[in-house]
Structure 1
Amino acid sequence: MPDPAPYPAAPPAPPIPLAALLAREDLGLRLVAGPEDAEIQWVHTSEMADPYPYLLGGELLLTAGVLLKDPETYAARVVEAGGAAIGFGVAPVHDTVPPALVEACERHGLPLVEVPPQTPFTAIARAVWRLMAQVRHQELRRVSEAQQGLATAAARPDPVPAVLQQLASRLGGWAVLLAPDGSVLQSSGRPPSREAREALGRLARVVSPAADDETGSGSGTGPGSGTGPGDSGAGTGGPGDGATRRAPASATDSVAGTHLAAYALGGGEALVLGIATEGREPGGHTVAGMAVVLLSLLTAPHQGTDATGRSAALVRLLLGAEPADVAPALGPGPWVVVHATRPGEPPDRIAASSLGAALGSALVDANGTTVRILLTGDRRIEPQPGWTLGVSAAADPAELSAADTAAARALRRAEATREPLARQRDAGLAELVAPGDAAVHARGLLAPIAGTPALTETLRVWLSLHGSWDRTAVALGVHRNTVRQRIARCATLLGADLDDADVRMELWFALRYV
């Protein structure tokens, strides 16, 4: 016969604090020894002289002391079994709680609760189950609300920092995205002490497989290490047996009252989610698990076999291969090049990867303030919140250099017109001028107003809106008379007749290059 299933380590319901039970006035319970910060996981009634064999740990042990002979031994055995507290009924055997039992519980740090005669043990058990049900309901509601908040955050233009912010807010602590070496990539919330941050960095190295790849060694366990959702456990191979150490999916620790947890993200980037809180709230681990899933998806490179081959083709191209030689590995195409910027904030690697995932490509290059993405021509490219995009026309692999230039021009046009997305146009007069020569001419032409950004921006918007005073005022958030004054000032400083269409055209082209 198969071995019977072991007893569960904890009940399916969350524990409740003893203080919550003592606060129930209808029960009339009174703490006579020990602390009140114990947590109750079960309720058990026993009149055995030695209750140890019948306890699982975490119980509120209810007894009337029928066979109580040696209070010291009784209290010691309850502590040895892991009992959370003793509830002593003062009737019908004893008129009061035996003083020797009070002293023994005090010595052992075991909470001892006096149960008045009018309170049956069943009423206490019922109260515990009801309190547990309330805690479970609150936990489920908290998890449900957190799930909605995290899903909403993941749909924002900057999903990774938004998810971290939501997680830090829900857990009331610090959420951080860590590199395999423990360095901080992005974070949200109030950082803990330096000691706690350093400990969290060590946990990151415990759960990150990349740490083993770099050092060639490592322990599968760390301070308080454990396994998270979906973890298959750490490897157990010893030195010289050829086994490869498998890092745990999660690890926990506690430093100076701060609870720390590190979770390995999937997706091949070897990133780690770190969390620091001042305690462990019910449902916190479940909320963190949902964040792990979202962040794994958001930071994954999303590369299949085809995409890996394309990346290799791009590497060979950068190393000097001819486009015609690389084209078969890259794919027949056609291909589209996208240039993207984020107004006012240079994109980092995570933001660039998230944009690539949103557009459906893993071929992403983040260089300075511009992100370049290569997509297959059948992809439908839509505006992305928080980004300005320039999109080339579909091109064969041998024409990608020209497509890259066209995407850059489309991006400049989108920035000039304040549009979220601009696509490549058929070549016009402006496209025939070398960008370097055009920039030199533009700086000279606009030099009289270049030192006053308000004038330059007003002229740009006014020309893009075909000289409309009212629409320009709305776009800039100023009064229409302010627009008139600025345009008049531009005309004076530039020595130009802004009613002349040729002058307007030349200024518009010049503004594209500054």
Structure 2
Amino acid sequence: MGPTIPEVTVAEIVALPALRLTVRAGEHRLENVIEGAHVSEVLHAGELLEGGEFLMTTGSLLGDGDAEWESYVAAVAANGAACLALGIGDQQRHHAVPAALLRAAERHRLPVVEVPESTPFIAVSKAIFAAHSDRDRRVLEESTALQRELTRTAARERGLAGLAAAWRRATGEHVLVLDRRARVLASSLAFSAEVAGVVGEAATDLGVLTTVVTSVATPAGDAVIATVGATRHAGYLARIGHAGEYADLAAPAFLSLLALELERRWLLDEPRRRTRATQLARLLGADDDARAQAQLKSLGLRSDELRAVALRAHSEPQAEEILADLTVALGTPFLRRRERIVEAVTVDDPRDVLASFAPDVPTGIGTVVPPGSAARSMRQAHSALVTSQRTGRLIEYVDGAAHGFLLQVADPDFLRSFSDAVLAPLDAAENSDALIATLHAWFAEERSVAECADRLGVHRHTVRHRLQRIAQLLGRSPETVDAQTELWLALKARGISEDGEAAAGGPVTG
């Protein structure tokens, strides 16, 4: 348990023999904390207070009446004065403390101290300032001692757990150290899942690498949460049970040591980083699903589906930071950095993680594939990455539906203009809705007149007649490959779904 450094109180100042102060009222309120000294002779002195003042006056404008002292004391007490000190003497307005003052002080629970004429107010002020200076010195000494102990712990390479334990021993506060996904890395106590959950939720709402702190009530007590990191956001620190100012002063040093420890762990992880890069290269080189599945099994993974990710950082240092973040966040053994490019293959959906840890970085995601086809997914991810660099947003490759991929990356205004231009002859014709619906159904049913007729609920001759009319209006047969590609893309750009209905809101863009 850390030391308790008491505040400066009325009792401490009254006890100084050199001041010769005498308590005349409020003996049971002498533990009031003094924040500062203040001398005032005005009647509205109470209005000038901010709380915690040792207020000194000779009462030169106050007589002996109950009404005037009641008004004065009520205002002083209401505004938080720690004490009222009245200077008395043969040369002062009052030769003794007025009874009216004592009665008012008892009603308002305000300590009253008598200051003899031989003690100048400046001497009392200096004593209060000296007491505060002494306390500040002790707080600083204890904070420095705490920082030295933490530094020794870090130098002994006791890790995050050692730092958490050292903080607990020195301050009495319990702590949790969490990673960027608010998962507990170390703690000074085995907290319940409920406590960790409350802290984790508050931590993720805090943001990344900010000087702002947040507080949250937990079953173990109130927790103060701060971010950890030097040049990058590495995690969070939660302190439960406030130890005092000396702990608050040492907290920045504690955060710095935690950041250094997290960076040290990352640097020491270099062999594992090489292993992850090697594992990814092996997986991408697997030429059949059996070999890939055997590799996954050797790593303790069981999955029939994988997905590749490729990111291009704005600089190599940023790529290193992203690699560090994704190592923890994705939890995949298949991860590597090649200059500014970071590549990964994961068994889980990576989109939420990427949104949290690489929101402004060009990113491509391949399709979900069997383990033996990881290389194909990676090629798709790189193809999508090229488009992501141009559009400025995450792009997912659409396998087997090139029109879907094109619609996802193209400008919506361009798609609208393209669709209107291609389908304009049909839009202008009579029965245009029926012609467009027939064209879409014919494509959807793989150009089968019979299946198209069944889908639309019309006679086959009707379908044939409409197709002939479409060819006349377009000036070319929809049977050619070029015409089919252009018309199908135009229909999809207009937002016509598989049931033949146009989507609300215009073109399909994803």
The TM tier, using the shorter chain, reads 0.3 to 0.5
**TM-score normalised per structure 2:** 0.45
**TM-score normalised per structure 1:** 0.45
Structure with bigger helix share is: 2
